[in-house]
Each structure stands twice: as structure tokens, then as C-alpha cells.
């Protein structure tokens, strides 16, 4: 039996000429129209003086660097270096500031607050409240069962169940978005013998203990801790904290993941969320991940003592991190394990997040209608200019029409993005860690780019538990 394949993703495209979006098209039109108008109204000397600026404007309209329009890149660079001049890219914790301390986390995490709750019969739960947007984020701690050894029928069922789970999110009007996060942290091989020794029954059969000892001895010297979580973020329209908390807990309790091949360990408590964020900012605390008394750590203390944002990386508590974001998903159909290269054990910590925003039925129809109209306009332009559409344009139009047809039959529409962060103890090792990630990204058939000038915000977004949504930042 052949391996099931999945696809049909496409990057949203606005109305424009060829591969240009609407803003690029307007800029190109201005670059062409202005010299013509000047030539009509003035003399040749003035026209020749305007031409170099028009050519520069036209070049800026069409130039793209790793999937980013050069004008957007220039604006981001200007904003970043202006922020650096103002000292806004540096963070130092207020260790000696008087109480009460407020907004004492770096960057976009500043307005967040951790709420600790207890539900009778359910247990503790931690919720991150964004005081600026009113959003509430709660988290499930997960244990994925894996699908590499599963048969095709089981995999197909699990993928379909995950699609159904995403569809249920569209029916909950209070939900803003969901984030699935996988943390991979290298660990010393000595932890495995200790882990097995603690769980070995001295009264067990000698043969069983001998087999386990041989397995431990044959295990590689390095291991990797894999932790998975799902965070749900709800919109707070009432601005009443108690009502928003109730709504968030209701959404969290209504979600079922077992059919998708995931076991839910428990709801993340306030202590769980504190150690997730703290160990991300200070990887040296990872070795104390299970022994530290995290209940004594308040939310404003989980951030870094010092942090510095650079154009292409982020320095936090002596560690160096780089975060990538998705530019374009695979154009071809792919198997279910397409992201496996990014999830393989490696020498450096890696965190991967997939952020989903499930659109409502009304919004999905409007979005797809605009996409179809843009595709139709591009075909008309190509026909009138005598240009034959490229194979990529034809495939993109086909995916747009297919998505519209499926939505008309009741299917949902999901916007998603992928973030990947790697961390290393030194800047030299960070370069090596980046090569590992970029190789894995290529093998996963993704197009990603570093979050230039926004490493701090991207790092915080990729934590997942804070409920940050890039378009709202």
C-alpha cells in the first residue's frame, strides 16, 4: 500500500501583476507612470533627471530577499536600528526595584501575567493573561504516541482526527488561535541509567533486569528530552477577567485529542508554565527541570536577568538563540512525517511551534473569494499581455479553486505558520546550530527565513504558552 500524501497549502496572494502583490504593483506602476507624466509636462532634461529615481523605485518594487520584499526588509532594519539607538533592544531585569513589580518581562512578554487556578475534580491550571489584548492562554501537556511504526490506516485516521480537531476550533467563537509546540533538549546519557534504576523492581526476574541493563548499555551516550504541548488562546471581548478565565477553561475542557494519536498528560499548572519559560531563557536550569522548587518562582522572575536583541539572533542569560519563521510551505504533496528532520535528536536544543488560526465560516468564504478574484485578475492580465501562465501560476490557481470548492462543500480554512528556534551556549556554536536547522528545514521541504530585526518577539512567540499572535504584535 502506498504512503498517504497530503498537500494543497498555498501562500495567500493579493491582487497584483505576476508574482507581485498589491503594494509592489502600485509601486511599479508609480515608477512607470511618473517619468511618462514628467516627459509629457516638462522638457527632456527634467525627464532624464527623474529616470534614475524611477528605475530605483522599480527595482525596489520587484526585489525580494529570501521571500521578504526588500522594502519591508528596509523598513524593518530602520525600525530595528532606531530602537537600538533608543536602547529598546537591551533588557535588564529590575532585580533591585521596589515592589510591586509590574511588566517586568522583556519585550512583548511585558504585559503578560500568570494566573494560578484550581478546579475541583480537575486540578491546578495556569493561564497566561495578556493585559494589553485581553487574551487568555491555557496549555495542555502532551505525550505524542508517534506514527513511524504505525500502519497506513492508523496514520490516515490520526491525520483525519487532527483535521476534525481543528474544525472544532472554528465552531468555538471565543477561540483566537492554537499553538502546538515541541521542545527537544539534549541530555547526558547518564540520565537514562538513573531513570531505569529508579524504576527497577529488585524482586523482578533476573532475566528481565539483565535485558534492561543490556538495553541501557547499548543506548547512545546522548539522549534527548522531548516535550510537547498544545496552547489555546481565547479572545476576551468583555474585558472581565473572571468571565474570560471561565471561557478559557471551558474551551480547554471541550477538546479531545486521543483520536489524533496524542495522550494528554494534564493541564499545565502555573509551575509548569514558569519552568517552561525560565528554562527557555536560561538553558542551564534545564538540568534542574524536575528537582527545582518552581512554586517559589513568580512570573516576573521567569524571564532573563539580561537580554540583548541583535539583527539575526537573541542573547539571553549567556545563551544565544536564532528563530526562523515560515515563508512558504511545501508546494508538492508530502507524507505525514515531512517535519521529522526538524524533530530528530541533535546536539543543540530546538523548539518548533506550529500556530493555527481557524477562520469562521463567514471569514473563510470572504478570504477564498478574494483569493479567487486575485487569481482571475492575474489570468486576465496574462491573456491581455500575451503571456503564457507559468506552471507554478497554474498550480497555484488550481489550489485556490480547489480550496474554494472544498469550503463551499463545508470544509474549513486554517491559516498557519511555523517557527523554529535553536539555542547554543556561544556565538560560534550558534553558527553550527543554525547549519543543523537550515539543513533540516531543507529536508522538510519548507522555505523559512530568520526573523530579522524581530528575534526577541519571535523567541517569545515560539514559547507557545504566552499566546502571542504575530499580526497583533
| pLDDT tens track for 312-332 | 999 998 899 999 999 988 888
Residue 167 has pLDDT above 70, yes or no: yes
Mean pLDDT estimate for the chain: 84
Sign of CA dihedral 183, 186, 191, 193: positive
- pLDDT > 60? residue 289: no
Mean pLDDT for 405-419 is: 82
**Percent of the chain scored above 90 by pLDDT?**
30
* Cα 130 to Cα 19, 30, 248, 421, 463, distances in angstroms: 37, 42, 13, 23, 14
Sorted by where each begins, the domain ranges of the chain are 63-359+413-472
Residue 180 pLDDT: 95
pLDDT > 80? residue 141: yes
Residues 415-450: tens digit of each pLDDT: 899 999 999 999 999 999 999 999 999 999 999 999
Average pLDDT over every residue of 192-203:
78
The CA distance from 323 to 351, in Å, is 9
Virtual torsion, Cα 270, 275, 281, 282, nearest 10 deg = 150
Amino acid at each position: 500500500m502506498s504512503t498517504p500524501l497530503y498537500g494543497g497549502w498555498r501562500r495567500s496572494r493579493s491582487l497584483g501583476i505576476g508574482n507581485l502583490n498589491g503594494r509592489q504593483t502600485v509601486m511599479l506602476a508609480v515608477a512607470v507612470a511618473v517619468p511618462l507624466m514628467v516627459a509629457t509636462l516638462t522638457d527632456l532634461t527634467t525627464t532624464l533627471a527623474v529616470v534614475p529615481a524611477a528605475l530605483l523605485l522599480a527595482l525596489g518594487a520587484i526585489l525580494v530577499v529570501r521571500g521578504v520584499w526588500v522594502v519591508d526588509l528596509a523598513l524593518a532594519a530602520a525600525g530595528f536600528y532606531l530602537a537600538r539607538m533608543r536602547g529598546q533592544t537591551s533588557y535588564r531585569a529590575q532585580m533591585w526595584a521596589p515592589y510591586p513589580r509590574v511588566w517586568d518581562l522583556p519585550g512583548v512578554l511585558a504585559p503578560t501575567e500568570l494566573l494560578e487556578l484550581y478546579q475541583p475534580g480537575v486540578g491546578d491550571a495556569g493561564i497566561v493573561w495578556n493585559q494589553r489584548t485581553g487574551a487568555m492562554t491555557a496549555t495542555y501537556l502532551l505525550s505524542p504516541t508517534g506514527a513511524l511504526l504505525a500502519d497506513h490506516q492508523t496514520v490516515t485516521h490520526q491525520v483525519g482526527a487532527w483535521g476534525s480537531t481543528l474544525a472544532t476550533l472554528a465552531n468555538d467563537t471565543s477561540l483566537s488561535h492554537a499553538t502546538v509546540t515541541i521542545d527537544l533538549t539534549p541530555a547526558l546519557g547518564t540520565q537514562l541509567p538513573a531513570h531505569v534504576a529508579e524504576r527497577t523492581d529488585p524482586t523482578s526476574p533476573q532475566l528481565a533486569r539483565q535485558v534492561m541493563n543490556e538495553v541501557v548499555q547499548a543506548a547512545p551516550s546522548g539522549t534527548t528530552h522531548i516535550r510537547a504541548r498544545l496552547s489555546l488562546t481565547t479572545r476576551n471581548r468583555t474585558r472581565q477577567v473572571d468571565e474570560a478565565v471561565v471561557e478559557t477553561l471551558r474551551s480547554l475542557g471541550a477538546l479531545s485529542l486521543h483520536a489524533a494519536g496524542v495522550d494528554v498528560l494534564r493541564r499545565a499548572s502555573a509551575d509548569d508554565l514558569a519552568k517552561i519559560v525560565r528554562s527557555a531563557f536560561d538553558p542551564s536550569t534545564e538540568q534542574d527541570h524536575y528537582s527545582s522548587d518552581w512554586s517559589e518562582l513568580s512570573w516576573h522572575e521567569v524571564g532573563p536577568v539580561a537580554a540583548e536583541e541583535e539583527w539575526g539572533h537573541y542573547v539571553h542569560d549567556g545563551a544565544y538563540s536564532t528563530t526562523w519563521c515560515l515563508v512558504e510551505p511545501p508546494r508538492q504533496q508530502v507524507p505525514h512525517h515531512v517535519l521529522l528532520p526538524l524533530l530528530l535528536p541533535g546536539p543543540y536544543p530546538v523548539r518548533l511551534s506550529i500556530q493555527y488560526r481557524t477562520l469562521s465560516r463567514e471569514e473563510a468564504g470572504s478570504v477564498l473569494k478574494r483569493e479567487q478574484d486575485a487569481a482571475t485578475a492575474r489570468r486576465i492580465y496574462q491573456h491581455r499581455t500575451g503571456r503564457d501562465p507559468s506552471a507554478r501560476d497554474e498550480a497555484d490557481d488550481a489550489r485556490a479553486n480547489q480550496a474554494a470548492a472544498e469550503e463551499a462543500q463545508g470544509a474549513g480554512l486554517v491559516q498557519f505558520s511555523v517557527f523554529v528556534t535553536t539555542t547554543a551556549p556561544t556565538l560560534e556554536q550558534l553558527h553550527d546550530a543554525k547549519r543543523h536547522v537550515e539543513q533540516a528545514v531543507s529536508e522538510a521541504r519548507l522555505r523559512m527565513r530568520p526573523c530579522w530585526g524581530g528575534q526577541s518577539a519571535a523567541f517569545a512567540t515560539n514559547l507557545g504558552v504566552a499566546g502571542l499572535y504575530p499580526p497583533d504584535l
